[in-house]
Amino acid sequence: MKIAYINCAGGVAGDMILAALFGLGFSPEKVEKKIKAALPPGCPDWKLLVKDSEVNHLPGKKVRIVGEGHWQSPSEMKKIISGIGLASKVKKLAGKILQTLITAEARVHRIKTKDVHFHEINSIDTLIDILGAAYLLNELSPEKIICSAINLGRPAPATLEIVRMRHITVFSSNPRQEMATPTGLAIVANVVDDFGDMPKVKILGAGYGIGTKKILPPPQPLIIINGMVKNY
């Protein structure tokens, strides 16, 4: 059985997941071209920048989305996802990830989902993190995805709400800084089949995703292992 194991001992964010997937060998240029071609007309222009980096003497990838696009509400992002020309599985997964973010924000602020309005998550980088992760996980096509307990650090209210809603296994090694973002948690919540230790696995590849946020002391990168197991 083909599996993917996600190690989130150093936290999780959308850009870290995307960077780790590129670390498995996917071409950033091809992914950017594919997503740009699939987006409906009128979307803001953006550029995907992926570079080699290092944290705690461990090499990895770092992702940055350059673009100025913002939307007035999450519903506009939902329309973009529903109209994108990607595989139905990718579109469905991306929609579920965004809906998890919207639902968490609505519950935190005690408002209806249609009234949710937030700033950071309405940006082009959040949209591309979501679409990129959904697209690349579909390309990787593991039969199961397993995840370690997630290091939250000092979580935002929406992050905690996603953890509560989806019964995600978590811990914290840093009570002063955010180590898990709502977008990262929303992706994990919708792709992971089980939480626990890594099983006995024949490793086919490993990708290391380094976040762009400055955290002291620097955490370990997020690791995605692509492998085969006999039984799980």
Tell me how many domains the chain contains.
Answer: 1
pLDDT in tens, 105-136: 999 999 998 888 766 666 889 999 999 999 99
**What is residue 116's predicted lDDT score, i.e. its pLDDT?**
84
| pTM, to two decimals | 0.95
pLDDT in tens, 5-27: 999 999 999 999 999 999 999 99
Q: How many CB atoms lie within 10 A of CB 70?
A: 13
**What is residue 123's predicted lDDT score, i.e. its pLDDT?**
84
pLDDT in tens, 85-110: 999 999 999 999 999 999 999 999 99
Considering the chain, what is the average pLDDT of its residues?
Answer: 94
**What is residue 120's predicted lDDT score, i.e. its pLDDT?**
60
CA distance 60 to 209: 6
Sign of CA dihedral 191, 215, 108, 125: negative
Sign of CA dihedral 193, 212, 221, 202: positive
DSSP string, 172-205: -S-TTSB-B-HHHHHHHHHH-SEESS--S-EEEE
Query: Is it the case that residue 220 has pLDDT exceeding 80?
Result: yes
* Domain region containing 108: 2-228
**What is residue 129's predicted lDDT score, i.e. its pLDDT?**
96
Query: Is it the case that residue 214 has pLDDT exceeding 90?
Result: no
